[in-house]
Structure 1
Amino acid sequence: MEQTESAPNPTAPVLKGIAAGPGGAVAPVARMAAPPSLPEREPEVTDTVEEQSAAREALFSVAADLEGRAAELDGEAAAVLNAQALMARDPELRRQVEEDVQNGSAAAWAVRDACGRYQDLLLAAGGYLAERAADLGDIRDRAVAVLLGLPMPGLPDPGHPHVLVAEDLAPADTVRLDTSQVLAIVTRLGGPTSHTVILARSLGLPAVVGCAGADTLTDGTTVAVDGDAGTVEVDPAPGTAERVRRRAEHRRAVLSAASGPGRTSDGVAVSLLLNAGEGDPDEAAAHDSEGIGLLRTEFLFLDRAEPPTIAEQTEVYTRLFRAFTGRTVTVRTLDAGSDKPLAFAETGPEDNPALGVRGFRTARVHPTLLSDQLTAIAAAAREPDHQARVRVMAPMVSTPAEAEEFAALARTAGLGTTAEIGVMVEVPAAALLADRLLNHVDFVSIGTNDLAQYTMAADRTLGALPDLLDPWQPALLSLIDKVGDAGRRADRSVGVCGEAAADPLLALVLVGLGVTSLSTAPPALSAVRFALAHHSKAECRGLAELALAADSPERSREIVRRAAHPEVTDL
């Protein structure tokens, strides 16, 4: 009897992980090579100065390589690699390596041990800092390879399209993926907001991270990856494999035809915007979007001993506004602290940086950083040779008083008439009092990654708790509903610029909750645009009510999937 396309293979194991990149693929596995191993016997150090110099040069070589790759990229990819290069140049890491050499360790061993201690500190700190431990492990492996004269850790090249499987995937490798050969990504480690997830979305690749059992997958084994469900089926039945392939082809064909402004089927506008950072503004402007919903400005501040001048900042913002003439540009002010410490903006030791002096709170300690940035944005907004709709918002605002304070600072800097002023809603306190925040600002933008973390009291980098960090959590959706309702009553726009905006089904729910703009990585825009075009505003509200009434994220997602139009759920 011929097998139907949906017939399961009862003997095929299905591995479960975190849905990280939408879409599906079927292909044989190709595993990442193991990192370089140190010889069993450590050589005796005869020249401490020479050994320290070798270790230092190895770290600088890794940093230079990362910076060189970043220079060829833009957006998220460039920002991630430049941040990793900063870690390789960290003077404290270098000091620890040199101290180990001074105590008798050979250069490669000193790099391994110093990076290991640094990783332990990051993991113990939790929050965003823990997320950087994998990046530091990649720096360690690359520096050790340089010191031992071994091949640089890198990607497999089996000579055919494949599913890339790894323990974890470093940013330097992720940005080099050839999407004509790598059809999907599966990693054993990684959390829902890890760099692997962010970059996989930016490349448009199906991905499953934090996948228990990924280490059992061997080269050449055929797997079916479902980046929407977060599953990896091993040796899938022929019908399953064919169904996944046809679905992927259908998705590519449908989404390639979706273009233009975001609209529901009854014509209600929903702005579809980009998350952006370092990179060429003209390249960012070439994407089919209505502008930028989140401009991360940290790239201007990170790789410096002193803060950028007002003139330097003004030049960058002016160029960006020119590139997006006729469209929206939403500038998030400096989100320093936590995983983005600045050499010139110390905030003191913190046991839990994610709950400490970060975002707008940094202005309490270093007020001129914010006032100078607002002055630069205002100067760029006044330039006559652009017609961009400029908006500025502060991150990590928790109270109406903070919203009022930021709005006053922005107006004092000259932004009252040249830009709209808003704040981000990333903590439950801000969501609960959104109506009062909106008494002081023109708009709010919801950062769902942080709002999920703080709502569920779950470290957003911890892969062991993916269900709590799921953006379909009804508690999180209830807070978003409260913000959306406040926006409707105040006639103010409400945006979402977290990873939740990239999920087409969840985007429908968000619009039903009152969200008026969605900002995400470029590859996600077409699917969201397509989903909106097949649902009316009233239908979006109906889906939102179904999601709110569910008692779990899995149930919420499943109910909405069943109720949504088949044209969308079949993607």
Structure 2
Amino acid sequence: MAQTDPLPSATGIHRCSGIPASPGAAVGPVARMAPPPSLPEQRPTTGKPGDEADRARRALEQVAELLDRRAAGLEGDAAAVLGAQALMARDPDLARRVGERTEEGDPAAWAVHSACGAYQELLQAAGGYLAERAADLADIRDRAVALLMGLPMPGVPDPGVAHVLVADDLAPADTVQLDTERVLGIVTRYGGPTSHTVILARALGIPAVVGCEGVEGLADGVTVAVDGDAGTVEVDPDEELADRMRRRAERRRALLAESTGPGRTADGTPVALLLNVGEGDPRKAGAHDSEGVGLLRTEFLFLGQAEPPTVAEQTAAYTSLFEAFAGRVVTVRTLDAGSDKPLSFVETGQEDNPALGMRGFRTSRVHPGLLTEQLSAIAAASLETSARVRVMAPMVSTPDEAAEFAALARRAGLTEVGVMIEVPGAALLADRLLPRVDFVSIGTNDLAQYTMAADRTLGALPDLLDPWQPALLRLVETVGAVGERSGRSVGVCGEAAADPLLALVLVGLGSTSLSMSAPALSAVRHALALHTRDECRRLAELAVAASSAEQAREAVRAAAHPETSSR
């Protein structure tokens, strides 16, 4: 759990502890994020409700256009996150709520603030994917309010020197634009191990610590040393510590620059290092030094559409991406949507808990045509290129579901078929599920949520969602052992795969491939090259035997080679 511990020092130096979010080290002065715009106590005189509603909607559209511009030219997670946020700003339901507020007499800025707040509460109550969007909606609200009130747009500070960015939280639109030459590290008060700040910080290769209580008291200009591997922030470090951290950061950059080629352990055991890919330029994704794609998110073709894309439209999109990875593996995840990722053309009925409802493969129970058309498009595109195309279904819970999906995919003409392990039930019956498919991929983000009964977006419970939780690792071990016995490949495509230290544990638990964002490839490749397969197994034993995530992480860190954590 995040905490602030005083160090024994007469100068009052202290250390803030949080969640290791993005590996690496940094030393520099603090630059704090400015607070969001606030509404004055005195409301202005309003015009006609229709005019106020139009002003509010124009501001929301301006925010959406800003997000579109920032997403242009990006790839992978960054493009997908901003694209989804732009769709939120244009959400007709949000516009409707704004209109209702102006009809009740609210000025435009107040209407946006109130409507977004009410919408946020609904998203947080829904849980799952929808709750993850609540923080993104706050950013949309703040930007629209700033436009309506003629205030400066919220954003990151620019102190004119290299610095450590400190904030309560970071909006995706700001995170993707961080200058990696200026921003040495990121520290946030809120956020969990699967938050957008974590995902995007790793994508940029910036050391980061999130969920770090106590940082709200740090003033601009105070020097801090950020340890993204250990999850600590040393305030006003002495010169010896500061020098050691700077040397560590320089050594890390040099070592990662030299790390290229296929992934393998020190004794030559191959571990495929793959990319998580979504919306963006497929040619940019294909240019990275990876062995292919371990997770192709296909939702970007469906979200925000009034009608599902046609088979021809899907085939063209998949063909373009497969061509960018000619000769390499591309693992396509079928549509991961449903009540928690609502699509206008997919009606699943009212659900009290969408995270446990009709999502992923389960949507084929009520809309089977969506899946069969998607499989047909993937199969058609696979015939057009030399990529080795694999397909897998999300949210598969039972061996029978795995068999059903495999039959559908093979009937469509696809020869390599797998499923995602995101539900504890699927992991516990891995010995009966794996024989029905050719491979499995473990989605650690959802598996952690369902294993620990903790909403992955709930900032108050980040320790339960830590991918180092021994209960989660034991489920990975169960699946990995079955994979080894049966000769089936077991991949990991959750955020856990991007942690170089945890990657060693995952390989020790039986993972044969790891899929991550592009900047994490070098660090994971380097960590694997320093350890044999047997050493990875011993590290895995230490992690699984621990009683908490913190103990697991520290036990492995102490036993691993120092360079594994870039020290």
Q: Specify the alignment match of 1:337 in structure 2.
A: 338
Sequence identity percentage:
72
Distance 1:231 1:535, change over 3 A: same
Residue 414 of structure 2: aligned partner: 415
Deviations 1:36-70 (A, max 9, x none): 22232212223222111111111111111111211
CA offset at residue 412 of structure 1? 1.7
The answer to whether residue 430 in structure 2 is matched with residue 434 in structure 1 is yes
Cα-to-partner distance string for 1:244-272 (whole Å, 9 max, x where unaligned): 11110110011110100001111111000
Query: Cα distance 1:241–1:322, how it changes in 2: closer, same or farther (>3 A)?
Result: same
Q: Is the 8 A contact 1:222 1:236 kept in 2?
A: yes
| Pair 1:398-2:366 in alignment | no
Q: Displacement, 1:127?
A: 2.8
In structure 2, what is the equivalent of residue 363 of structure 1? Answer: 364
Kindly report which structure 2 residues correspond to 1:256-295, keeping only aligned pairs within 5 A, or say none: 256-295=257-296
**1:9 Cα shift?**
8.3
In 2, the alpha carbon distance for the partners of 1:231 and 1:253 equals: 23
Q: 1:191-202 alignment to 2 at 5 Å? A: 191-202=192-203
The alpha-carbon distance between structure 1 residues 56 and 533, as it changes in their structure 2 partners (threshold 3 A), is same
Q: How does 1:340-489 map to 2 (within 5 A)?
A: 340-383=341-384, 386-416=385-415, 420-489=416-485
In 1, distance between residues paired with 2:326 and 2:293?
11
In the TM superposition, residue 8 of structure 1 has moved relative to its aligned partner by 8.1
Indicate if the aligned counterparts of 1:7 and 1:239 stay in contact, CA closer than 8 A.
Answer: no
Provide the C-alpha distance between the structure 2 equivalents of 1:64 and 1:357, rounded to a whole number of angstroms.
Answer: 32
> Could you tell me which amino acid in structure 1 is paired with residue 53 of structure 2?
Q
Change (3 A) 1:229 1:408: same
State yes or no: 1:189 paired with 2:215. no
Shift of 1:147: 1.1
Does the C-alpha gap of structure 1 residues 266 and 56 become closer, same or farther in structure 2, counting only changes over 3 Å? same
SS state at 2:547 partner: coil
Q: Verify the 8 A CA contact 1:66 1:172 in the aligned structure 2.
A: yes
Q: Distance in 1 between matches of 2:259 and 2:9?
A: 32
Residue pair 2:13, 2:236 contacting (<8 A) in 1 also: yes
- Residue 519 of structure 2 aligns to a residue whose secondary structure is helix
Which whole-Å deviations, capped at 9, do the CAs of 1:206-243 have from their partners, x for residues lacking one?
11112112211111111111111111111112111111
For 1:566 and 1:167, the matched residues in 2 are separated by 31
Deviation at 1:570, TM superposition (A): 4.2
Structure 1 residue 567: Cα displacement: 3.4
In 2, distance between residues paired with 1:39 and 1:550? 51
Answer whether contact 1:8 1:237 (CA < 8 A) is retained. Answer: no
SS at match of 2:456: coil
Contact kept in structure 2, 1:192 and 1:461, CA below 8 Å: no
The count of aligned residue pairs is 561
**1:148-191 CA-partner distances (Å, limit 9, x unpaired):** 12221111110000111112110110111001001111111212
- CA drift at 1:86: 0.9
Whole-Å separation in 1 of the counterparts to 2:304 and 2:452: 33
Shift of the 339–226 alpha-carbon distance from structure 1 to 2, 3 Å rule, reads farther
Deviations 1:60-103 (A, max 9, x none): 11111111211221111110001001111111110010111111
2:28 partner SS: strand
Pair 1:101 & 2:102 matched = yes
The equivalent of 2:4 in structure 1 is none
For 1:260 and 1:207, the matched residues in 2 are separated by 26
Distance 1:29 1:58 in 2: 32
1:512 correspondence with 2:508: yes
2:460 partner letter: A
Alpha-carbon distance in 1 for matches of 2:38, 2:468: 42
Q: Call closer, same or farther: CA 1:283–1:513 in 2, change over 3 Å.
A: same
Determine the structure 2 residue equivalent to 1:546: 542
Q: State the shift of 1:125 in Å.
A: 2.2
Q: Distance in 2 between matches of 1:173 and 1:338?
A: 29
Alignment of 1:68-83 (within 5 A): 68-83=69-84
2:313 aligned residue: 312
CA deviations 1:322-364 (Å, max 9, x no partner) are: 1101111000000002542111112122221111111111111
Counterpart contact for 1:9–1:236, Cα < 8 Å: no
Q: CA deviation at 1:432?
A: 0.6
Counterpart of 2:3? none
TM-score (normalizing by structure 2): 0.97
Q: Offset at 1:554?
A: 1.9
**DSSP-derived class of the 1:438 partner:** helix
- The offset of 1:526, in angstroms, is 0.8
Query: Cα offset for 1:562?
Result: 2.1
5+ long unaligned stretches in structure 2: 1-6
State the alpha-carbon separation in 2 of the partners of residues 110 and 467 from structure 1.
36
Is the Cα–Cα contact under 8 Å of residues 307 and 344 in structure 1 kept in the other structure?
yes
Query: 3-state DSSP class of the match of 1:25?
Result: strand
Distance 1:8 1:228, change over 3 A: farther
Which residues in structure 2 correspond to 1:24-35 (within 5 Å)?
24-35=25-36
Q: Structure 1, unaligned stretches of length 5 or more?
A: 1-5
For 2:489, the equivalent position in structure 1 comes to: 493
Counterparts of 2:9 and 2:308, CA distance in 1: 58
Q: Secondary structure at the match of 1:522?
A: coil
State the match for 2:43 in structure 1: 42
CA distance in 2, matches of 1:9, 1:316: 62
What residue identity is the alignment partner of 1:500? A
